[in-house]
């Protein structure tokens, strides 16, 4: 049977998440469902006679912006050219104005050859963090009915390039995720989400307008865990020194890095207010 490339069905995508886990990406326990429902047309696979052989996601948020992730090839097909053929099939005919990705160090030169340019580094910090913060009166728990307020906050403050209601519906609406916010003049002045992963928890996004509020939200999210001794991860844009300091003051150490890269005009995001990105897979 010749190799075949097509969009993935919902029941096939968890295989890609399993591969990501084996690569050490430590996905969230509920990432597969949330990610796939963000754009059900955005996940692709290459198949051979053994089944799924390579995957890539190209999630489209609007006619202007998309994000690439989950670019993985089955170990026995690496070096065969199949992964690159999948990349070409999915991306070369894209009409999106801008496509972003978070590239691991080993692949950044290859992404440059495909027209992606470096924007900034992201650093994954990890550690076993204990914290005890006073919970302010204006801290609220976000529910699925709050996604329009959250989306408006992200857009008004230049925290994400496009509206992403489908993503937020799953991210905030998931019963196993905890989403907290601080009230503000635009409804909220900052918010964050913590979710369980194969190992420990990840916080992301952590979008806050000043370092003091970021520390408060970070602490409140940590205190919401049922397992206070679990390891915690935070993916920080390196240009935000206050975010780097937040991780380090809690004893977290650098474990991993990516390069945020864009093909097309890079969005003008306010990195000073991004204390934790949402994910390396969907931006």
Asked if 44 and 166 sit in the same domain, the reply is: no
CATH number of the domain within which 85 lies: 3.40.630.30
d(CA 52, CA 69): 17
CATH number of the domain within which 154 lies: 3.40.630.90
Is residue 119 included in any domain, yes or no? no
Asked if 128 and 245 sit in the same domain, the reply is: yes
The predicted pLDDT at position 21 comes to 86
Is residue 116 included in any domain, yes or no? no
Asked if 161 and 234 sit in the same domain, the reply is: yes
The predicted pLDDT at position 2 comes to 58
Tell me the per-residue pLDDT of 104-155, one tens digit each, with 9 for 90 and over: 888 899 899 999 999 999 999 999 998 777 888 899 999 999 999 999 999 9
Q: Which domain holds residue 262?
A: 124-276
Length of the chain: 283
* Strand-pair category, 98-103 with 65-73: parallel
Tell me the per-residue pLDDT of 161-181, one tens digit each, with 9 for 90 and over: 999 999 999 999 999 999 999
With a cut of 90, say whether residue 25 has pLDDT above it.
no
Asked if 138 and 248 sit in the same domain, the reply is: yes
Asked if 173 and 67 sit in the same domain, the reply is: no
Average pLDDT over the chain, rounded to whole? 93
Q: Average pLDDT for residues 177-186, to the nearest whole number?
A: 93
Is residue 246 included in any domain, yes or no? yes
Structural domains in the chain (count): 2
Is residue 110 included in any domain, yes or no? no
Asked if 152 and 261 sit in the same domain, the reply is: yes
Asked if 132 and 268 sit in the same domain, the reply is: yes
The predicted pLDDT at position 133 comes to 78
Place of tokens 């503000």: 184
Tell me the per-residue pLDDT of 49-67, one tens digit each, with 9 for 90 and over: 998 999 999 999 998 999 9
Is residue 108 included in any domain, yes or no? no
Asked if 238 and 151 sit in the same domain, the reply is: yes
Asked if 156 and 264 sit in the same domain, the reply is: yes
With a cut of 80, say whether residue 26 has pLDDT above it.
yes
Asked if 134 and 245 sit in the same domain, the reply is: yes
For the whole model, what pTM was predicted? 0.94
The predicted pLDDT at position 5 comes to 93
Is residue 136 included in any domain, yes or no? yes
Asked if 33 and 68 sit in the same domain, the reply is: yes
Asked if 48 and 139 sit in the same domain, the reply is: no
- Domain end, chosen from 102, 134, 166, is at 102
- Domain end, chosen from 50, 70, 102, is at 102
Q: Average pLDDT for residues 76-83, to the nearest whole number?
A: 87
Is residue 24 included in any domain, yes or no? yes
Is residue 109 included in any domain, yes or no? no
Q: What are the two backbone dihedrals, phi and then psi, of residue 170, each rounded to the nearest 5 degrees?
A: -80, -35
């Amino acid at each position: 049977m010749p190799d075949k490339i097509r969009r993935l069905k919902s029941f096939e995508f968890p295989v890609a998440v399993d591969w990501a886990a084996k690569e050490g990406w430590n996905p969230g326990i509920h990432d597969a469902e949330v990610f796939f429902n963000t754009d059900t047309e955005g996940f692709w696979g290459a198949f051979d006679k053994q089944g799924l052989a390579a995957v890539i996601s190209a999630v489209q948020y609007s006619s202007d912006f998309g994000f690439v992730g989950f670019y993985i090839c089955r170990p026995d097909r690496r070096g065969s050219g199949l992964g690159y053929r999948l990349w070409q099939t999915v991306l070369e005919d894209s009409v999106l104005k801008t496509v972003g990705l978070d590239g691991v160090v080993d692949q950044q030169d290859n992404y440059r050859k495909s027209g992606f340019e470096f924007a900034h580094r992201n650093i994954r910090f990890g550690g076993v963090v204990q914290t005890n913060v006073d919970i302010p009166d204006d801290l609220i728990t976000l529910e699925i009915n709050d996604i329009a307020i959250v989306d408006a906050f992200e857009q008004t403050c230049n925290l994400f390039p496009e509206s992403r209601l489908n993503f937020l519906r799953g991210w905030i609406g998931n019963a196993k995720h905890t989403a907290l916010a601080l009230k503000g003049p635009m409804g909220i002045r900052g918010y964050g989400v913590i979710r369980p992963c194969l190992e420990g928890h990840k916080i992301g996004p952590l979008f806050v307008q000043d370092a003091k509020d970021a520390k408060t939200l970070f602490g409140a999210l940590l205190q919401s865990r049922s397992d206070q001794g679990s390891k915690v991860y935070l993916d920080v844009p390196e240009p935000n020194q206050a975010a780097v300091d937040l991780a380090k003051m809690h004893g977290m150490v650098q474990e991993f890095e990516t390069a945020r890269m864009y093909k097309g005009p890079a969005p003008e995001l306010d990195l000073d207010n991004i204390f934790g990105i949402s994910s390396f897979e969907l931006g």
